[in-house]
Amino acid sequence: MTVCEYRAGLEGIPATQSSISFVDGQRGVLEYRGIGIEELAAKGNFLETAYLLIWGDLPTKEELELFEYEITYHRRLKYRIRDMMKCFPESGHPMDALQACAAALGLFYSRRALDDPTYIREAVVRLLAKIPTMVAAFQLMRKGNDPVQPRDDLGYAANFLYMLNEREPDPFPAHIFDVCLMLHAEHTINASTFSALVTASTLTDPYAVVASAVGTLAGPLHGGANEEVIVMLEEIGTVENVRPWLEKQLAQKGKIMGFGHRVYKVKDPRATILQQLAEQLFEKYGRDEYYDVAVELERAVEDNLGHKGIYPNVDFYSGLVYRKLGIPSDLFTPVFAISRTAGWLAHWKEQLNENRIFRPTQIYTGLHEATYVPIEHR
């Protein structure tokens, strides 16, 4: 039975009810559990944001300390996971490595005690704790180096940068990275979160839920756009080339990476904050050679596509921040996944509270009563 009109990409069709985050795409508002993203980014940190998203309230001091302690304790990887990663091809994309590793965690923690709050807590902690270690370990191993062990005396963001770059970061870049993690932690029912929900609704384990979401985030129309933005800025090269390049791209009906959003019809509030963070970093550590190109591209896209509501999204300025933090461009999307794991887990938990398996309908456009033609007659 068809109950409503078919909309490609399910545009505008509610697929769930949720109290985790809210977006107003006309006003450029994003709230996590009712708190504006600007306020959280200015006052909070990533782990308390993750706690807020997953458990619904800001943690007390004691709750946050316990959560941080548990995450720190679970950061290490089993040597079998590291050995598995050693067999991955160096040329493989880190998102594929991450998806495989997230799924492999299910081999070690295979219980599906979805009604047991201890199991839920442990799964949340393990995934948040181990995913950054996996991303950093793959980066070092593909260069032929041993992975660096996590350091218990460093916070979540600083420890990741330490494991990645093999040196302790200054507090300022570590703080900026922590803010980036907060900004990417959750964004209603986007493609990867929807993928997580569908997987969760079968009552499979949370490692499979996160692995399916990682696979979905990897595409260039979703989280993979941040990597494509840098490729695009490199291709444009100079401020003078921005408008001729854009003209050509639009004539060929090409998409401009890092622009446009299904929900936002104004500049994504996260892009505004990321641009400010980029400027703060450049002031202290030197300007990125492509920043002026990016700013000019924003102006040119606004002039040409502003009437369609095409403005920078979260992926546009994030790459420039990550480059300054020493993160290679093919790790931009895995870094997004580190952060978005918080949102996926929040939705997983919410889905379990009132689960019904996803089983939408379709509009069949194929044949009926077709004839089977034997192979020799085809």
DSSP H helical ranges for the chain: 37-43, 46-55, 61-73, 79-86, 94-108, 117-142, 156-165, 171-183, 191-200, 206-217, 225-236, 242-251, 269-285, 291-305, 314-324, 332-353
267 in contact with ligand ACO (CB under 6 A): no
255 in contact with ligand ACO (CB under 6 A): yes
Which among 333, 277, 286 is positioned nearest to 139, based on CA atoms?
333
Give the Cα-Cα-Cα angle 199, 210, 267 (nearest 5 degrees): 100
Binding range to ligand ACO, per CB under 6 A, among 49-57, 79-87, 313-321, 355-363: 313-321
Both tokens assigned to 45: 């940190």
Binding range to ligand ACO, per CB under 6 A, among 153-161, 162-170, 250-258, 283-291: 250-258
- Other beta carbons within 10 Å of 326: 13
Contacts with ligand ACO in 68-97 (CB under 6 A)?
none
Which CB sits closer to ligand ACO, 221 or 231? 221
Catalytic residue among 205, 261, 288, 347: 261
CB 239 within 8 A of CB 245: no
As measured in angstroms, the least distance from the Cβ of 106 to ligand ACO is 26
Interface mask toward ligand ACO for 179-218; x: CB under 6 A: -----------x----------------------------
256 in contact with ligand ACO (CB under 6 A): yes
As measured in angstroms, the least distance from the Cβ of 8 to ligand ACO is 8
Binding range to ligand ACO, per CB under 6 A, among 49-57, 59-67, 302-310, 349-357: 302-310
157 in contact with ligand ACO (CB under 6 A): no
Residue 261 a catalytic site member: yes
Which CB sits closer to ligand ACO, 97 or 225? 225
The Cα 313–Cα 301 span in angstroms is 12
Give the C-alpha distances (Å, rounded to integers) separating 232 from 156, 225, 321, 350: 31, 10, 16, 38
The size of the interface with ligand ACO (CB under 6 A), counted in residues, is 20
- Write out the DSSP string of 141-161: HHTT-PPPPP-TTS-HHHHHH
Residue 146 a catalytic site member: no
Sequence-ordered list of residues with C-beta below 8 angstroms from that of 190, at least 6 positions apart, any chain: 222
Binding ligand ACO by CB under 6 A: which of 141, 154, 314, 345? Answer: 314
Which among 175, 149, 143, 179 is positioned nearest to 162, based on CA atoms?
149
Which residue numbers are catalytic? 261, 315
Interface residues toward ligand ACO, by CB under 6 A? 9, 190, 221-223, 225, 255-262, 305, 308, 310, 313-315
